Structure 1
Amino acid sequence: MSVSTTDSLLVINCGSSSVKSALFDGQSEQRLLGCAIERIGLPEGRLLVIGAEGEAIHEESLSLADHASAIAKLFAWLDESGHKEPVRAVGHRLVHGGPRYRTAQRVDDEVLGQLRELIPFDPIHLPSEVAGIEAVANALPGIAQVACFDTSFHRHLPAVARTFPLPRKLLDRGIHRYGFHGLSYEYILETLLERDEPSAQGGRIIVAHLGNGASMAAILDGTCVDTTMGFTSAGGLVMGSRSGDLDPGLLIFLLEHDGMSTDDLKRMLVRDGGMKGVSGISSDVRELLAAEEIHPEAAEALELFCYQARKFLGALAAAMGGLDMLVFTAGIGEHSPVIRNRICAGLDWMGLTLDGERNRENSYQISSDYSRVKVLVMPTNEELMIARQTRRLVG
């Protein structure tokens, strides 16, 4: 195992019961290692460290009470392995920047206090993410920390795409469409620019980030002009366990006539909805594909996912006046030719046709030679995007 001799950047992504991190060489952008601490606050926790070549270099069972303990364990392992000393900055993924933060921010006491005030905007993600920043500050006092927001990429949404049809006073309080998965979209756009894809600078692109959480972004001449997720990351497309868009009157009905509490609604919309709810089997597309011939509910969930994705794709194309490029990314988008084919089926009218063999082989370009719309499959790298934003701020 090699130890970095140059400054390195640590990227941290705190979930509700996990801390995932990656160490990058600050100059070459090489990923030196990845760490995952799982089941925080639960029995049978685990620390797993993966090397630069994808090999497991350390694994141990542990029990950690909270994120502070997990971060302390992470830095203890980095110190023992010789990786801690070169770390010059830590970048954190924050899902929601609220109305205040439109770009990545270097964290100081004022920023940290304002992030705490933003927790009501995203009570699912922000508490653990803020706890991660606090834990790093305690473990390494004085180290530079940068908050990188998934909402930042969508900061230029025009008012017509950003505004909900609600009383103006709510808009003034920051109640509007934010959009998410921005770190993924920014990485894809930067990569397209590096590859000199003409549409990246002067064209109409839809990026479909399809994973357990799923969204799409419409990018016109290099700027995001619309996206499917809204005020929270539960809106838009049907997802693994998230409902996506619903009639708001249904939620009122469930509250008033079905005896549901707000906690019941949160659970249904975020953890028990989506394809998991419709199928009654799983939120995992791979499991649903394996079960669809036996269980009609699994087939129905997949059909709903693909139908809604195709419908949103058409709507975003209409918002831009057409489409030049479609990019599939994230777990489903990158690895499921079956789902890609079903989403694109019947889109010949907009000049989009897949090449069956290219699609099955997960090629970079999967559109046919005579397709007017270029369709690509690209891996995303949100960790690297956080490292880049961190380096740009700390110098």
Structure 2
Amino acid sequence: MRVLICPDKFAGTLTAVEAADAVAAGWHDQAPHDQLTRLPLSDGGPGFVDALAGPTGGRRVAVPTLDPLGRPVDGEILLVDDPATPTAYVESAQACGLHLLTPAERDPKHTTSYGLGVLLLAAVEHGARRVVVGLGGSATNDAGAGMLTAIGVTPLDTAGYALPYGGGALAAAESLEGSPRLRGVELVAATDVDNPLTGLHGASNVYGPQKGADRGDVLLLDAALERFASVLVAGLPGCPPQLPALPGAGAAGGLGAALLALGGRCESGIALVTRLIGLDAALDAADLVITGEGSFDHQSLRGKVVAGVAGAARDRGLPCVVLAGQVATGRREAAAAGVTETYALVDHFGGETGGGLEQALARPAEGLRRIAARLAGQWSR
């Protein structure tokens, strides 16, 4: 049996690499002679650099940067010496990630994307001519205002003073000062979502609550991003006039909008990763595909890892099993996306102890290993 194991991260508990290792260990416990291929994935969010480092043969360069509250944090860029276009891969979550804050610290009115700008400048200084920015898992909702400040473009208020950091301050945005110190590099936003910047499906309404915003905050932030978008359109040469409505502009709290305003383009994060790591060839050689993530829900089917993997498996007539911390997608919807079966850690532990969610968060690797062993007993030849 040839089994391809290609999960995303289990947010807050396991990296994609750790999840893949746990599944492989469980399958091997039950069916040691089967052929297992591990390809940890990312849709642009946390784990983006990890997923690409091995397959691309790139060089990882440590870059000290800042977290969403301006505190020092370790970051890195991945440099790939393409003779035609030297490329750097940057993971926004290393500087802007929600996982960098405690629940009590989460407040998108004040968190900043400044640290991502530090990573971008480092990529330029190391000679990159193309910078691919993985977007996802952010704690920010500032439409990239902090990032722009770090690269030389400072948002100003009506009096000409620099705005404080955070999405809330953008309600007073009036103009921009300076120009981006990016030396004309090509920018690519590897997005995990296709949301616009503002409106009912925009960054603030859809993702603000998980970053600590209450309903009043969401309304304030949405209005602030709308105002800042008009400032970007007026102040950055070449910025698309329809910026707030562009697909992907709302990715990572509006970082997508800032990259588009700088002349960048959006690309599906999962499509980019799967192309670079050779997922298609691995799928062609597989009998069964196992993927997964922390929560398999309606957002999973909008450009995320599970949707990309399941769709590719469906197109090849391959069965695809999804393992997740929680499953909130109906069987019919999952089947339409190419998913054959789903298994939840919450259900696995709930049946044993009655404390499913608590145990799933505390023992995710153990749960994945045991579910995978059970799957091997059902599927292995």
TM-score by length of 1: 0.34
TM-score by length of 2: 0.35
